[in-house]
Structure 1
Amino acid sequence: MKKVSILGSTGSVGAQTLDVISHYPERFEVEGLAGGYNIPLLLEQIERFRPRKVSVATKEAAEQLRSAAKSDVQVLYGEEGLHEIAAGTDAELVVTAIVGSQGLKPTLAAIDAGKHIGLANKETLVSAGHLVTELAQRRGVALLPVDSEHSAIFQCLNGESRDRIHKITLTASGGSFRDRTREELTDVTVEDALKHPNWSMGAKITIDSATMANKGLEVIEAHWLFGLPYDQIEVLIHPESIIHSFVEYVDYSIIAQLGMPDMRVPIQYALTYPDRMATPSERLRLSDVGKLQFREMDFDRYPCLRMAYESGRTGGSMPTVYNAANEVAVDRFLKGKISFLAIEEVIAKVMDKHSPVPAPDLSAILEIDRWAREEAQNLD
């Protein structure tokens, strides 16, 4: 039986992770859950999965949870609680499904404690890829990708030599506005942007999909996960989201991973690796799909992706700034404070203000992250 803790258990990926676990109660045991503010859902998860420890965002939420919980679960809160769920349980695998750069410190704590990581928090590698990968290597910890694109690349590389890779290609659905021109994006609403055509995801990642910032974050994450230069990482729009990504080798053979757009498949593969098991997902029938479409990436149409490549190639602290500015800009858009197209303007302005630090340590990363957020918040 594999023991698992989940950071972000009440979010989309966290809830789907627990759904996978529920189909194999004899294979998995839930040690800890960190659930933010969603007390009703967290209570349901405690009742069903019986974790030993849970954490929420605030002291008030912890008191509410303690009074409502029907078990003797240990209730923690705040940054210390998150750290305890990450590093202070008997879990062998920690699924990091917290949205945003707040996942960085607990992920590092989990790695330092020798936990293998089911990585669903791409911002961790974007903000501090050099620190995370170095520590994982030193501790002998596996970084198992949960994102469908990185899971696909990971699977396509099984048994293959990394030095025989010509290119890897991450596929992108194109998001909510893939069939609209830039001129048609001027007055789009939050409700419009949250209508993703293929995937069921949280609000932040759905907006990132529409701007293509999400794919930009994935490009930077792929650089660290697979040790490839940016010139060997491409992005292709694939509206059906059936081919999740593919690897082209030096002989120009292409190996791709296909499946229905269901996050439970890559989640389960991270949980069971190197084994495979039956999933609750729908089976892919290519005869039903009929045809698959592909479009070249247009960096003028999607400047957030272009800026991600630029920040990655610059390196050092620039990806931290890119990520932090994007998080704040998306939050401001979701709150109706800026327009959809202003998201990219905020990112560009904050990046222009930053002088990159070549190899920042954790304290420098956290300070640069704080600065970038403040700048992004204060821009008109």
Structure 2
Amino acid sequence: MTDSLATPHQPFAAATDASKGSEDPRSIVILGSTGSIGTQAIDVVLRNPDRFRVTGLSAAGGRVELLAEQAQQLRVRTVAVARQDTVPALREALKARYGAEPLPEILAGPDAATELAGSTCHSVLNGITGSIGLAPTLAALEAGSVLILANKESLIVGGPLVKAVAKPGQIVPVDSEHSALFQALMGGTRSEVRKLVVTASGGPFRGRSKTELTAVTPRQALAHPTWAMGPVVTINSATLVNKGLEVIEAHLLFDIPFDRIEVVVHPQSYVHSMVEFTDGSTLAQVSPPDMRMPISLGLGWPDRVPDAAPGCDWTKAATWEFFPLDTESFPSVALARHVGGLGGTAPAVFNAANEECVDAFLAERLPFTGIVDTVAEVVSEGLASGTVKKSHDGTSLSVADVLEAETWARARARELAARAAKATSEVRA
């Protein structure tokens, strides 16, 4: 797997070999510390103080009390917030917890997380949601840190940029599916891999027809049957856009062609993904649905963290089911394969348009089925107009290209969502 970004056969040897001979805790920076991934990572760290030391935390700034509590618990050197206006409240929250002790350094503004990601540390856990995680991802890789990647969007929108700076094995994936593939790939060589099988819970609407999905409400879509996640990721799981993004991520991480990456629905979410080898053997990674397991593997790789999460209870009877993907009701995976194959800025347009459409759906300005339909329309318009740059255009991708494509996609998605909302209101009137 020497061409892969995540290389289980060659786990960033220089960093891990040096750390294994040291008794000092591994230094970690956590981006998105107040979110779902960040809080669970901190739980793992606090239960393993001899193994990990958090030197910096970043968050958007909406939960300053929690951020201050985390900073005080972990005794971090630096705290970063994206929102400059939250600094006074954060400083007061820190003072209340630190008392007469010196406060940690505060970084603020849209580039704060990127600056923190480029600081000196062993590993950076990128748990930011959305494509705003691209700059911190690049900063961590350029600084030579191990990137523990939960922010799939940064890899998806900036694939060529990330591949240009990442060393083989410098990225350890945290998504449960990609962590599972990462582990299962240890069972064979690259030439022995027939296909990757990415599992999907199916979300809360598994089995419904596209017609039945039309009237889905935000409240229903936010009720995921298995995982507790943020609103954007939860809606992405309901539309299966998240699974489409994961297919692109698997292609980029493991350098496996799209036609050898399959999606199968597994409602119980115990089998997190599988690798099928050329002799017909399939290796699966299995564990109860608890993100602390893949997070701990990322933090400790190449070593595992004992008791990071509960294992399976094999004394109890259980049934695991697998179903083929319903591509008619959930066309998002096929669309993601299409844009992933195009490369260039197509994945950035897909992701940015989806983020805007999810916001419109949550604000009840767009129907549930309108999310993917609108994303597909934005992608189609971008290709027809030449706004989307394909990987075979002969042009090298830059951060500016990605940002320009995202800006256009967001604006166009908002226009189309507003048009849909107006049409709906006129019909009701």
TM-score range, shorter chain: over 0.9
What one-letter code is carried by the residue in structure 2 that aligns with 1:115?
S
Q: Whose Rg is larger?
A: 2
Letter in 1 for 2:408: W
Which residue of structure 2 aligns with residue 235 of structure 1?
263
Task: Tell me the alpha carbon deviations over residues 100-138 of structure 1, each in whole angstroms, 9 at most, x when there is no partner.
Answer: 00000111011111111000001011101111022112x
Aligned to 2:76: 51
Cα distance in 2, alignment partners of residues 122 and 116 from structure 1 = 15
Aligned match of 2:135: 105
* CA distance in structure 2 between the aligned counterparts of 1:335 and 1:279, rounded to whole angstroms: 41
| 1:362 aligned residue | 399
Q: Does 1:25 align with 2:58?
A: no
Q: Deviation of residue 35 (structure 1)?
A: 1.2
Partner SS for 1:288 = coil
Quote the residue 1:80 is aligned against. 111
Alignment partner, residue 143 of structure 1: 171
Alignment check: 8 A CA contact 2:65 2:93 kept: no
Q: Is the 8 A contact 1:185 1:340 kept in 2?
A: yes
Picking from 212, 225, 229, the partner of 2:253 is 225
Q: Distance in 2 between matches of 1:347 and 1:65?
A: 37
Q: Secondary structure at the match of 2:80?
A: strand
- Aligned counterpart, 2:160: 130
Asked if the contact 1:117/1:141 (under 8 Å) is kept, the reply is: no
Q: Residues 1-380 of structure 1: matches in 2 within 5 Å?
A: 1-36=25-60, 37-70=62-95, 71=98, 72-88=103-119, 90-137=120-167, 142-158=170-186, 160-355=188-383, 356-357=388-389, 358=391, 359-379=396-416, 380=419
**Structure-2 separation of matches of 1:85 and 1:231:** 38
Tell me, in whole angstroms, the C-alpha distance in 2 between the residues paired with 1:97 and 1:21: 15
State whether residues 317 and 365 of structure 1, in contact with CA within 8 Å, keep that contact through their aligned partners in structure 2.
yes
Q: Return the offset for 1:180.
A: 2.4
Normalised to the residue count of structure 1, the TM-score between the two structures is 0.96
User: What CA distance in whole angstroms lies between the structure 1 residues aligned with 2:165 and 2:94?
Assistant: 37
- Greater shift in the superposed pair: 119-128 or 175-184: 175-184
One-letter identity of the residue aligned with 2:412: E
Q: Once superposed, what is the RMSD of the aligned Cα atoms?
A: 1.3
Following TM superposition, by how much is the alpha carbon of 1:289 offset from its aligned partner in structure 2, in angstroms? 4.8
SS in 2 for 1:276: coil
1:10/1:289 CA distance change after superposition, 3 Å = farther
Count of residue correspondences: 377
Counterparts of 1:64 and 1:105, CA distance in 2? 26
TM-superposed CA distance for 1:75, in Å, is 1.0
How far apart are residue 282 of structure 1 and its match?
2.2
Contact conserved, 1:55 with 1:62, CA < 8 A, in 2?
Answer: no
Unaligned residue ranges in structure 2 (runs of 5+)? 1-24, 420-429
Aligned to 2:158, the other structure's residue is in SS state helix
2:150 maps to amino acid: A
Greater mean deviation of Cα atoms: 197-206 or 78-87: 78-87
Q: Secondary structure at the match of 2:316?
A: helix
Q: CA separation of 1:171/1:61 partners in 2, compared to 1, >3 Å: closer, same or farther? A: same
Report the CA distance shift for 1:48/1:229 in structure 2 as closer, same or farther (over 3 A): same
Amino acid aligned to 1:61: T
* Superposed CA offset, 1:250-294 (max 9, x none): 111111100000000000001111111222422212452521100
TM-score when normalising by structure 2: 0.86
Choose 283-292 or 146-155, whichever is displaced more.
283-292
What are structure 1's unaligned runs of at least 5 residues?
A: none
Amino acid corresponding to residue 20 of structure 1 in structure 2? V
SS, match of residue 162 in structure 2: helix
